[in-house]
Amino acid sequence: MVRRKSVTTLQLCWTILLVYSVPTVLTSEYKKAKKGDNVTLMCNAKKPLNWWNKKGDIIGRQKGRIQQNIYGNLIIKSVRLSDSGLYTCSNINGSVKHKSIELKISAAPSFFNVTSEVNVKKNEEVVLYCNAEGHPEPNVTMFMYENGRIQKIANGTTLNTRIPCKYCIVVFLCKAENSLGEDSVNITVNVVGKPEVKILESPVTGDTVYAMVKKRETYQDDKWEIN
């Protein structure tokens, strides 16, 4: 005779709870959009009572650029690169996931955190920045204007350099490119120093006069040099 193992009411409740607490994804999608587009992510829930989350953070019915409408769909206005990621629509307690959508945002290059202009002394080391964002990730190249021509000097978003000239202005060009387009920005380096004067003799009176021959922005602790 085989004995049947009895199941208590408490054990049965725990079994049911474990079954319903395991998140399940019914459908998954991959969605592409361009930076600046308006995007709507549709949820497959039979009831509009659901929530969207991104990387575990609940979005909910927010107001503004990202919001969830009464039908449970997520609307993202003027999408940004930072909006890329995995979005999941689930019921209110998260036990059932109705849909998972991987959102990918593409964008032409654009610059941020750029050293637009800087003053340095002769041979003083300076670091120039021209950070660019975009998707696909852009390639950044730095050039220098020299004698009316553009000369390539480095790849990347930063440049450590020293300017050997005195009383000069050097202009660099940063260029970012990907498959969707390109962007460029100039960086101006002003090499500053002490004003210089020459001692001259007046051809009329014979008196000594001082003539300033070169001038740039000076430092407070500088003194004039007499040639």
User: What are the pLDDT digits (tens) for 3-44?
Assistant: 555 555 545 444 444 444 444 556 788 999 999 999 999 887
What pLDDT is attached to residue 112?
Answer: 94
What pLDDT is attached to residue 55?
Answer: 76
Inform me whether the pLDDT recorded for 219 exceeds 60: no
What pLDDT is attached to residue 217?
Answer: 43
CB-based contact 121:47 (threshold 8 Å)? no
**Which tokens belong to 212?**
């300033």
Average pLDDT, the chain: 79
**Which tokens belong to 127?**
């670091």
What pLDDT is attached to residue 133?
Answer: 96
What pLDDT is attached to residue 13?
Answer: 47
Amino acid at 222: D
What pLDDT is attached to residue 227?
Answer: 32
Measured between alpha carbons, how far apart are the two ends of the chain, in Å? 119
Inform me whether the pLDDT recorded for 51 exceeds 90: no
Domains parsed from the chain with CATH numbers: 23-106 (2.60.40.10), 115-192 (2.60.40.10), 196-226 (no CATH)
The model's pTM is 0.67
What span, in angstroms and rounded, lies between the C-alpha atoms of 54 and 71? 19
User: What are the pLDDT digits (tens) for 139-167?
Assistant: 999 999 988 899 999 999 999 999 988 88
What pLDDT is attached to residue 49?
Answer: 59
Transcribe 133-202 into DSSP letters.
EEESPPEEEEEEEETTEEEEEEESSEEEEE---SS-EEEEEEEEEETTEEEEEEEEEEEE---EEEEEE-
What pLDDT is attached to residue 61?
Answer: 61
| pLDDT class of 202 with cuts at 50, 70, 90 | low
What span, in angstroms and rounded, lies between the C-alpha atoms of 72 and 85? 19
Mean pLDDT for 162-183 is 93
What span, in angstroms and rounded, lies between the C-alpha atoms of 69 and 63? 10
CA proximity to 103, closest of 39, 22, 177: 39
Share of the chain above pLDDT 90, in %: 45
User: What are the pLDDT digits (tens) for 76-106?
Assistant: 999 999 999 999 888 766 667 778 899 999 9
